[in-house]
Amino acid sequence: MKDFIASNYALYRQWFEVSLDLIWKLPPSLRIRADPMAEISKFEDISHAKAIKALTAGIKDTVSMTDRYSDHDLDSADKFFLAHGLPSLTSLRILFSKKMSKIISAGEIKTDEEYFMIKSLEDADIPENAIAQVRSLIGSYELKRK
């Protein structure tokens, strides 16, 4: 998962920053005292790897906060993110699901069930190089099945 974030760090950083207002809805008084973006910036000053890890954790937390979103809330968030040139919440919910993260981290599709899960990402609105990684996993699995 960290490879997906690393290869499109600026995009996912921007997505997370937008999510703070759209999903987290942090009040300004709290944002001044505990700004997640300030933490991300602090990690960026220390090391790129630590910044990626912190951003990944922040996105995972954000995605988990939307578990109980209604279809209407999800649709509204998707439209907002897409209108700002960012991946939809729906795509990130798929990408950051526990099962999907496990498959991507393993770097290998092992079952038909995993194959169909990963295949669903082919049409997701995630960056092209992430789609390329997904297609690589799919291609490797399809070659093994023959």
Domain ranges of the chain: 2-145
The pLDDT of residue 80 is 97
pTM as predicted: 0.82
pLDDT at 83 exceeding the cut of 70: yes
Which residue shows structure tokens 């951003």? 55
State the DSSP H helix or E strand holding residue 44, giving kind and residue range, or none if neither.
helix 36-46
The pLDDT of residue 1 is 66
The pLDDT of residue 28 is 78
Return the structure tokens found at 109: 């599709």
Work out the angle at residue 84's Cα, subtended by the Cα atoms of residues 74 and 35, and round it to the nearest 5 degrees.
Answer: 80
pLDDT at 42 exceeding the cut of 80: yes
Phi and psi angles of residue 71, each rounded to the nearest 5 degrees, phi first: -60, -40
Q: What is the Cβ-side half-sphere exposure of residue 94, based on CA atoms within 13 angstroms?
A: 19
* Dihedral sign from CA coordinates of 11, 119, 97, 53: negative
